[in-house]
Structure 1
Amino acid sequence: MPQSSPTPVDAPNDAIILTSIPPELLGEIFTYSTLHNPDAPLVLSAVCSTFHYIVHTTPSVWTRLYLEVSRPDATGNAFTEHPDARWARKAEMWFSMAGVCPVYLHVQMDVYAHSPRAQSMGEVSALQGNGDYRDELGQWHIQLLPCVLYQYRHKIHGLALHSTTVDEAQSFFTALYPPEIAGQNPEDSRIPLKNLTFHASSDGSHRASSLNLAHLRHKHKPATCISLSHCHFPQLAHLKFVNHPLPSIINESDILPWGPINNARSLRSLSITYPIRFTPISVYTLLQVLRSSPLLEKLEIEARVADAPPPTSLMPTSPTWPSTPISASTAPITPNTPFSAHQHHPDLITLPYLTFLSLRINNLPALLSHLLLPSLHTLRLDDLDGKRVGAAAQTGVVLRQLLVRMELPCEGVQRGSGLQVLDMCSIALAAPQYIHGHDEREVALNDAGSVWEWCFRRMRTLREVRAAKMDTEALWALITAAGDVSFGVTLANLAPSEPSSSLVVVVLALAVAIIFLSYFSCLVVVYAFDERLVTEVPAPEA
């Protein structure tokens, strides 16, 4: 009996497929879409009635809020709506729809330009009781938007404030978190803020319409500093500054009835990017913050650092500040020194959970000499003053001390696995030079080279090395010397344990990447003159 040919099946309707997805799953998809476009709830709710229902019944879709702060048009009249009124209505709508869910707020202080987002704000309907936001004198409120957000400050868990100048950010942040609330009950003044980002554009390059003439007139004005010590932020875990001077985070004043304020106590990550053309940051200011951040896991600093004590009038009587100069703050530690807890210097700052450290600064020894990092996994060093006289010896000594302190016992913390990633840029190296001694073993001629060689031998768990703008010949000599089994110390993750077939050479422009395969891991050493190339090749199956 002949088989009947199959009947063609119509292509399924996309709309039917989407509407057949469970509402809970669609709600999760819509929530993830806000990561790419915070205004996704407005767009999705206009697609169809099903989307509109799901968007308005899923609070998590409304947890990311994008707002802009604008200056009223100088040509406007008394009947023209204030630009911030639309954003204020949007804020009330978002917080209302989010319910009890925490909201992550992004504020763009674009006081002259009008972004495409502002043109679509007509989709935001006014909620009941909003009015037109005029004060009793009939004038527009200067700080309209932060004053509206003030009533929702207990729902804001994340704040990213992008401004043109530090002054603008200070004005907005002070209006949102006024210092007056610090004099109230401490339970009322503790804000559940977890993520805080300050980003200032020093040149106003993000503006598309016109220039901020006020900023140009005051471009040489000393930068003000935002204070974070006037309110309790006990849950603050992630703090980032871009083109902002490091503000006051700790208030040790005894005037407050509930004691000092330490907003760095719960910090997990701290990032500071301050252009090198700006005023240097005092190393003592950095040490004060680090000493008060025992839970810190990630630290990134890109700035000029001044190794100078603060004015005597500004130095507190508490033991927060080191009592000895930087140059004498750390006792010399030799490779043969036995490790014991009693050797902890009182001026050392212990960060037991720090796994990632990135420093693009000058005066590297001034900061590294104070740190005890037992769990350090990744170390990135970029010396802004790497060509100074004696840089190789100074950096080598402070790195050796850091590696030795990593093996010191730390109370209550299990010793980490050791340094695994080393990223260096503009670091001065010294290759070891040897002569044959009386016992027919090679003896190092230069102290700096022997110190660096000891450091590479000590990094037994090192898996990856990245290098740029450095003496690659010296680096290669140090790595090959560290992998020499004749010295009794082998770096299993550095030295190749397979035949030459396991060695892969990749040539790209002026970069040559030499890849070593071992039984347990792989190492990529990049020799770059103008560019970085990092390629990781997994080890083959045994």
Structure 2
Amino acid sequence: MNRYKMYSGFTPALPPPKHPMSSLPPELLAEIFQYCSTYNADAPLLLGSVNRRFREIVHSHPAVWYKLRLRLGFGTEFAQIQKAGLWFKNRGACPLKVFMNITNTCAPRSDTSEQEWFSHNYPFLIALFRKNIHRIHALTLQSDTELKAYHLLDAITASSPVSPTESLQLHSLHFQITADIPPMPSGWSPVFESFSLFPQLDSLKLINHILPALTPPNIVHLQNLSIVRPLTAPPLPTLKILRMISSAPSLIHLDIDSRISGEPLSDLHVETDLPALKSLSLRINNLPSTLKLLASASLEKLRLTDLDGRRPRAGEELGSVMANLTRELKTKDGNSGGLDLLKSLEIAGVHCVSSTSAHWDWCIRHLPRLESLTLNKSGFVSLIKVLTEIQPEHLDVQGGFYCPRLSYVHLSSVDALLLLQDLKMKRPSLTVEWDNGGPVWHHSIPDHPRTTFSYTTGGYGFASLFDYDRRHIEDTQVKGVSLTDEDSSW
């Protein structure tokens, strides 16, 4: 009887509740997994090891397998072939992005070329890439030297069956060189024939790379060019930049992050037909003179960082150039124009003092299509006043304000918060963000920490709090990138 009473109240244990992700449809999970792959190339392997359902979804959706990372010299060739074969198989006929790190591969013997060395030491991996080279859409090579990277390119493209119906579809090519750039004559540029192997190339990024000589037939479709060099590298001659850019008639986006040699403009006797850029980003010294050469009336996005911004009259010189560009630029048809198409402007590294405000005020008054403005130095108080001024002749356009399409402003170390509040009150649709200019503290809570204030709108679109957080995360990732790993997601 006692035993019956003891067990009569017993209830079997309930099964554990299912995780909320288990109820999501496989299509939605595949979208989530694809997003994970943008941050970690090996995400398919990690997600596929969670459980059987995840593994089935990962292996049945090619979009999850669009980035492949290999490190030659780490492990056996068989492991690299297994990994590459798995990606090519699951990706199907879709294009693939590949990252290859060859910095730790052994040096070849003196009697063997590097191309032959790659084919001899990685014969099956090279054969696999030769067979699937037409399926690679983007390729990033991290190497000790330029020659090793280009010899690997020659090895994987040698004897590749390229026919008119099946050409090499590589559209994006990035080089990351880890060794220091050696000093060399200013007029010398190496010639790499590998560029002629990829007729569809439209994006080229050179990180810590010797600036090569490019001929128009090889880069006729190039639209994006990025040149990134550390401050310790030898200055980049302006003439070499102009020659390289003039060889790319389809160039739209140009990004230069390097020291520039200070050649007088009168010494540049070369006749150059520069392309009409839509996006220009310069983080250089000698910024005013270089901007004069590269700016075009078709610019829609302009990002300027002066590495010599602390020199006397730096803000005045740059402001004068910007004001002149709004008057003197020529359009393709030969008519006079300015920065009428500019939608995004970002200035960093220079201060705007009272002697320079007239130039900047003139500039901001002549940017009718400006939508985004970012100023990362102090002293631009008068410019804020310009944004609150009324144009009597244009009262029918967004209240008659200058820059009527402006929707986002970010200011750093601003002195007068009352002016910003007045700007927000007069233009309530404008999103205003600014830093209070205090020190950055990471491990303690100071009396006056550096903070960012933001007026944002609701929803998830432009200028919303969601959009602000997203851009903040992206900016943080970009600022944390080092020369040894261009893409943190790899």
TM-score, length basis structure 2: 0.66
Specify the SS of the correspondent of 2:38: coil
**Structure 1 counterpart of 2:171, one-letter code:** K
For the 8 Å contact 1:245–1:281, the answer to whether it is kept is no
* 2:94 corresponds to: 101
**Cα deviation, residue 95, structure 1:** 1.4
Distance (whole Å) between structure 1 residues aligned to residue 454 and residue 301 of structure 2: 16
**Structure 1 counterpart of 2:121, one-letter code:** I
* 2:177 corresponds to: 200
**Cα deviation, residue 23, structure 1:** 5.0
Distance (whole Å) between structure 1 residues aligned to residue 16 and residue 332 of structure 2: 65
Matches within 5 A, 1:403-442: 403-404=326-327, 408=331, 418-427=341-350, 429=352, 431-432=354-355
* 2:121 corresponds to: 142
Deviation track 1:452-487 (CA, whole Å, cap 9, x = no partner) reads: 44223323555554444x5x34x3245436755699
**Structure 1 counterpart of 2:208, one-letter code:** N
* 1:456 corresponds to: 364
Matches within 5 A, 1:9-408: 13-14=17-18, 18=22, 24-70=27-73, 83-111=76-104, 141-144=120-123, 145-177=125-157, 187=164, 190-202=167-179, 227=192, 230-248=195-213, 250-252=214-216, 261-267=217-223, 269-308=224-263, 325=266, 349-351=274-276, 354=278, 356-388=279-311, 391-404=314-327, 408=331
For the 8 Å contact 1:374–1:416, the answer to whether it is kept is yes
Deviation track 1:510-540 (CA, whole Å, cap 9, x = no partner) reads: 9979452115534556674877976542379
Gap regions ≥5 residues in structure 2: 1-12, 107-117, 405-410, 441-449, 460-490
Distance (whole Å) between structure 2 residues aligned to residue 112 and residue 185 of structure 1: 29
Distance (whole Å) between structure 1 residues aligned to residue 343 and residue 221 of structure 2: 27
How many residues align? The count is 411
**Cα deviation, residue 303, structure 1:** 0.2
Distance (whole Å) between structure 1 residues aligned to residue 28 and residue 363 of structure 2: 53
What is the root-mean-square deviation in Å for CA atoms of aligned residues?
4.9
**Structure 2 counterpart of 1:456, one-letter code:** I
Write 1 or 2 for the structure with the bigger share of helix.
2
Distance 1:379 1:525, change over 3 A: farther
- Aligned-pair identity (%): 27
Distance 1:383 1:45, change over 3 A: closer
Distance (whole Å) between structure 2 residues aligned to residue 506 and residue 399 of structure 1: 20
Distance 1:454 1:221, change over 3 A: closer
**Cα deviation, residue 359, structure 1:** 0.8
**Cα deviation, residue 87, structure 1:** 0.4
Distance (whole Å) between structure 1 residues aligned to residue 437 and residue 327 of structure 2: 29
Specify the SS of the correspondent of 1:14: coil
**Structure 1 counterpart of 2:320, one-letter code:** V
Specify the SS of the correspondent of 1:427: coil
Specify the SS of the correspondent of 1:151: helix
Distance 1:112 1:371, change over 3 A: closer
Specify the SS of the correspondent of 1:349: coil
For the 8 Å contact 1:69–1:109, the answer to whether it is kept is yes
**Structure 2 counterpart of 1:239, one-letter code:** L
Distance (whole Å) between structure 2 residues aligned to residue 426 and residue 506 of structure 1: 11
Distance 1:195 1:535, change over 3 A: farther
**Cα deviation, residue 70, structure 1:** 0.3
Distance (whole Å) between structure 2 residues aligned to residue 482 and residue 46 of structure 1: 55
For the 8 Å contact 1:69–1:111, the answer to whether it is kept is yes
Specify the SS of the correspondent of 1:262: coil
Do structure 1's residue 476 and structure 2's residue 399 form an aligned pair? no
**Structure 2 counterpart of 1:263, one-letter code:** I
Distance (whole Å) between structure 2 residues aligned to residue 49 and residue 364 of structure 1: 57
**Cα deviation, residue 275, structure 1:** 1.0
TM-score, length basis structure 1: 0.60
Larger radius of gyration: 1
Distance (whole Å) between structure 2 residues aligned to residue 523 and residue 45 of structure 1: 44
**Structure 2 counterpart of 1:101, one-letter code:** C
For the 8 Å contact 2:284–2:307, the answer to whether it is kept is yes
* 1:492 corresponds to: 401
